[in-house]
Amino acid sequence: MKQRAEEENRVADAPPENWVDTHAPAFFRPYARLARLDRPIGWWLLLLPCWWSVALASEGWPSLALLVLFFIGAVAMRGAGCTWNDIVDRDIDAAVARTRSRPIPSGAVSVAAAWTFLLVQCLAGLAVLLTFNSFAIALGFSSLLLVAIYPFMKRITYWPQFVLGLAFNWGALMGWAAVEGSLSAAPVLLYLGAIAWTVGYDTIYAHQDREDDALIGVKSTALKFGASTKKWLWFFYGVMAVALVAAGAAAGLGFFFYPVAALALALLVWQIVTLDIDDPARCLRLFRSNRDFGLIVFVAIVAGQVA
């Protein structure tokens, strides 16, 4: 009976045999699921623009200490953002097949307990932020409004993915600020490209839910683009390509940045060419491949600094 109850509490779209289901203490599992620790792709996508930006601002190898701090901050703040999103969206999540098994709509975590958990994660993120210089601290606080309003955007606009891009890629500015104590053209270009990248990959992700979203009145770029999704992806991923190359040039990266970046961009082309918006499993696979894209971009930037 206990095993059956545990299986019923698993989140529908979590990877099978993930570490939360197999190794996390039973009392912590609902909270780990609330923070999406069973789906690491989210914190990877939050972390990677931070790492890009740190590498872009560095002369030579990026600071390992900064990379670790951004890792801790990304895991904490991604969890906090997911917790906030699930508190706000608990009624919507209960009406969508893929999300009704999440901890709040399933009853595994109460709303009051979720608020407490949100506070703990925010304090962890704050502890990381306060290790940075004053400019980076102020810049970090300035992102909170975007994080706060994002869950409401799907109710009022077909472009919630754009707001997600604004919030989720703030690290493209933060990494540079943590190194330099200021901003310049290179991180701004990187940020703009990363926003376009997020609109692209989250549109692919949103195609998993478009039928449920349409029934309950939730908006997304997947619904707006529909059968024209591939054409829009060429545009947004094209913006990412141009902005990434421009950011590298503005930062004075060396030759080896460009061929490695081209390899990363080829992965985005593969996503577009192989996308089937009517195949949810395919959409999820392509969405998750953006971790690999981000890691290759990071390698490209480092190669441009040290080679």
Query: 76-96 burial, b for 16+ CB within 10 Å, e for fewer?
Result: bbbbbbbbbbbbbbbebbbbb
Choices 2.80.10.50, 1.10.10.10, 3.40.50.720, 1.10.357.140: CATH for 2-11+21-306: 1.10.357.140
Nearest Cα neighbor of 302 from 46, 68, 69, 58 is 58
**Residues sharing a CB contact under 8 Å with residue 284, sequence separation 6 or more, in sequence order:** 13, 205, 208
Q: Cα–Cα distance between 29 and 102 in angstroms, integer?
A: 11
Q: Cα–Cα distance between 286 and 171 in angstroms, integer?
A: 23
Q: What is the pLDDT of residue 113?
A: 96
Q: Where are the alpha helices (DSSP H) in 207-279?
A: 210-216, 221-225, 229-250, 257-274
Q: What is the pLDDT of residue 307?
A: 83
Could you give the 3-state DSSP secondary structure of residue 218?
coil
Q: Encode the chain (307 residues) as per-residue pLDDT tens digits.
A: 344 444 446 676 667 678 888 888 988 999 999 999 988 999 999 999 999 999 999 999 999 999 999 999 999 999 999 999 999 989 888 887 778 888 999 899 999 999 999 999 999 999 999 999 999 999 999 999 999 999 999 999 999 999 999 999 999 999 999 999 999 999 999 999 999 999 999 999 999 988 878 878 889 999 999 999 999 999 999 999 999 999 999 999 999 999 999 999 999 999 999 999 999 999 999 999 999 999 999 999 999 999 8
CA torsion sign for 293, 242, 50, 199 is: negative
Q: Cα–Cα distance between 109 and 86 in angstroms, integer?
A: 11
Q: What is the pLDDT of residue 146?
A: 95
Helices (H) and strands (E) in the chain, counts: 19, 0
| Residue 22 CA, distance from chain mean position | 24
Q: Cα–Cα distance between 260 and 266 in angstroms, integer?
A: 10
Q: Cα–Cα distance between 199 and 184 in angstroms, integer?
A: 24
Q: Where are the domains of the chain?
A: 2-11+21-306
Angle of the 134-141 helix axis to the 171-180 helix axis, nearest 10: 160
Q: Cα–Cα distance between 114 and 35 in angstroms, integer?
A: 10
